Amino acid sequence: MKDWEIAEAAEANLKPAAELVRELGIADGEWDAYGRFLAKVDVAKVLSRVGAGRHGKYIDVTAITPTALGEGKTTTTVGLVEGLGRLGKKVIGCVRQPSGGPTFNIKGSAAGGGLAQVVPLTSLSLGLTGDIDAITNANNLAMVALNSRMQHERNHDDAWLAERGLRRLDVDPGRIQFRWAMDFCAQGLRNIEIGNGGRLDGFNCKSGFYITVASEVMAILAMSADLADLRRRLSKITVAYTRGGVPVTTADLEVDGAMCALLVNAIKPTLMQTIEGQPVFVHAGPFANIAIGQNSVVADRLACALGDYVVTESGFASDMGYEKFWNIKCRCSGLRPDAVVLVATVRALKAHGGAPAVKAGLPLDPAYTTENLGLLEKGCENLLAHIDIIRRSGVQPVVCLNAFHTDTPAEHALVRAAAEKAGAAFAVSDHWLKGGEGALGLAEAVIKACGETNRFEYLCDLSEPLAGRIEKQVKEVYGGDGVDYEPAAREKLAALQADPETAKLPVCVAKTQYSLSHDPKLLGRPRGWRMPVRDVLVYSGAGLIVPVAGEIKLMPGTSASPAYRRIDVDVATGRVKGLF
């Protein structure tokens, strides 16, 4: 059976949302039903009653560098939740909401797979309770306000503006920082021109789109502590600069309050469940390569107050998702991980070892489906790099080898030996095929890891200079030799360093997810490279400095064989089919 067929079959046994909230100890008045199986939970109300202090063990799931084969990070997250549930633990999962971009493109949904999925799959994959739509609208309302203001300032004098309670902002059309948002992979909208026509058709200028989950508004949702913090952060977003170089914020445009109004419901996590009935909070979005890529702070805090074990997920590999969890999210939440799970597969490690490239629509090369210890041993260099990254944070990882039927005992033994020699715990998990039963060994290894003492510490002190912090991240996390800035990026960095408040913001690098470096072609554990930075963005509302490395795009493109070609509806029943 395909994943969507497994998920559809499981829906016959789903717990109603009312049963899930009862099991969690969430009271009436602290949640709202969205149909029979989904619920929005008011975190502020729950924490004001039960207390915001941490109760549960806190576990992050990350992975080796992604390949076209997939590593199964979300599947492992859900499988671990199911495995801990099988051991009688009160466990809660926290995952990110799938973006429409990958759902309708190559990757598909991010619900997990096999018997380790979050359900109902259709709801999760096709908009859920509207959070991403609300973020899209809030982002685009800011752009509407900016373009309208520029048009009216061009068309009218200061007296006309003053009559309407406005002051001239004098926005520099060449220094607009914000873009429009859309939750699809639409490469044709990366660079556009708006306002063509006459004086009533808006302000004519260059613009563009990014995918919604890369919007600063999504980062703000993920990092906010509560509604008041969300409101405060929204007001600080820098949308442009004046001709004199002064930041123009959403508060200057007087649009910040309306943006927050669009997000009042979005600040509440959505409660769902695994196929085996464990609770899962779904909140915030993916793409740790171009965004923060974390489940929200509020969802994790809520789960830690209610559960004995909390399993959260960071986007992409440890150099991207875990690094941002470690150095950004944990600063915001005040939470520290008790354990970190590092997901790998034999097939993905062979890809890093130099196996032939995977080509869409063609059978896998035999190197992936038959025993090849030479390729696997070479590919383990990538695994060792990610073990080192996690250990650099002061935590000993648990390596989870996500099992496939083509794996051999000798291949499993080789990966185990490499992981244990590097100081990591190790478990093979067969959760895709067997659900929680297949993840019992992983769950036991994680419980043991949670009982050990770690020395979690941040990579840098925020008082260190920005350039030094970026350099340290490249050298100690990615394994590069240094950083090379394009002139405009170096100029921006110097200006940001000159502002005492901005200079202390965390760094959130945007780079490819397909390599430890900036170059997606450099697999394994590349050495002898330097990271080129072509731009440095400031997300003043989210509180982030974003160096943009290499050729990374904030709006992905749609492939020639996207998933939407296989998605359809059974018109007799109204059931969606073909999601994966």
| pLDDT tens per residue across span 133-182 | 999 999 999 999 999 999 999 999 999 999 999 999 999 999 999 999 99
pLDDT at 360: 65
pLDDT at 68: 81
326 is catalytic: no
Among residues 40, 57, 86, 107, which one is catalytic? 107
CA 14 vs CA 7, 84, 277: distances in Å: 10, 19, 7
Rounded mean pLDDT, 187-207: 94
Among residues 4, 37, 178, 316, which one is catalytic? 316
Among residues 281, 404, 529, 580, which one is catalytic? 404
453 is catalytic: no
Query: Which pairs from 411-416 meet CB under 8 Å and 24+ separation?
Result: 411/346, 411/371, 411/373, 411/376, 412/346, 414/373, 414/376, 414/377, 414/380, 415/344, 415/346, 415/349, 415/376, 415/380, 415/383
529 is catalytic: no
Among residues 57, 96, 347, 525, which one is catalytic? 96
Q: Bigger pLDDT: 288 or 186?
A: 186
Specify the DSSP element, H or E, that contains 180: strand 180-182
Rounded mean pLDDT, 535-559: 90
Confidence grade of residue 54 (pLDDT, cut at 50, 70, 90) = low
SS3 state of residue 464: coil
107 is catalytic: yes
Among residues 31, 209, 432, 529, which one is catalytic? 432
pLDDT at 206 over 80: yes
Convert the pLDDT of each residue in 501-528 to its tens digit. Answer: 999 999 999 999 999 999 999 999 999 9
CATH architecture of the domain 466-549 equals Roll (3.10)
362 Cβ partners below 8 Å, 6+ apart? none
Cα–Cα distance between 212 and 329 in angstroms, integer?
20
Confidence grade of residue 563 (pLDDT, cut at 50, 70, 90) = confident
Confidence grade of residue 290 (pLDDT, cut at 50, 70, 90) = confident
Q: What is the DSSP letter of 370?
A: S
* pLDDT cut 70: percent of the chain above it: 99
Convert the pLDDT of each residue in 343-379 to its tens digit. Answer: 999 999 999 999 998 876 678 899 999 999 999 999 9
Convert the pLDDT of each residue in 222-275 to its tens digit. Answer: 999 999 999 999 999 999 999 999 999 999 999 999 999 999 999 999 999 999
316 is catalytic: yes
Compute the half-sphere exposure of residue 558: CA atoms within 13 Å on the CB side of its CA.
16
pLDDT at 358: 84
pLDDT at 466 over 90: yes
404 is catalytic: yes
Cα–Cα distance between 443 and 76 in angstroms, integer?
11
Parse the chain into domains and list their residue ranges: 3-130+266-357+365-450, 132-255, 466-549
Cα–Cα distance between 231 and 260 in angstroms, integer?
6
Lowest mean pLDDT among 112-116, 291-295, 326-330, 494-498: 291-295
Superfamily grouping for domain 132-255: Domain 2, N(10)-formyltetrahydrofolate synthetase (3.30.1510.10)
pLDDT at 376: 97
Among residues 57, 73, 236, 469, which one is catalytic? 73
pLDDT at 121 over 90: no
3-130+266-357+365-450: CATH topology: Rossmann fold (3.40.50)
Confidence grade of residue 99 (pLDDT, cut at 50, 70, 90) = confident
pLDDT at 361: 66
Confidence grade of residue 286 (pLDDT, cut at 50, 70, 90) = confident
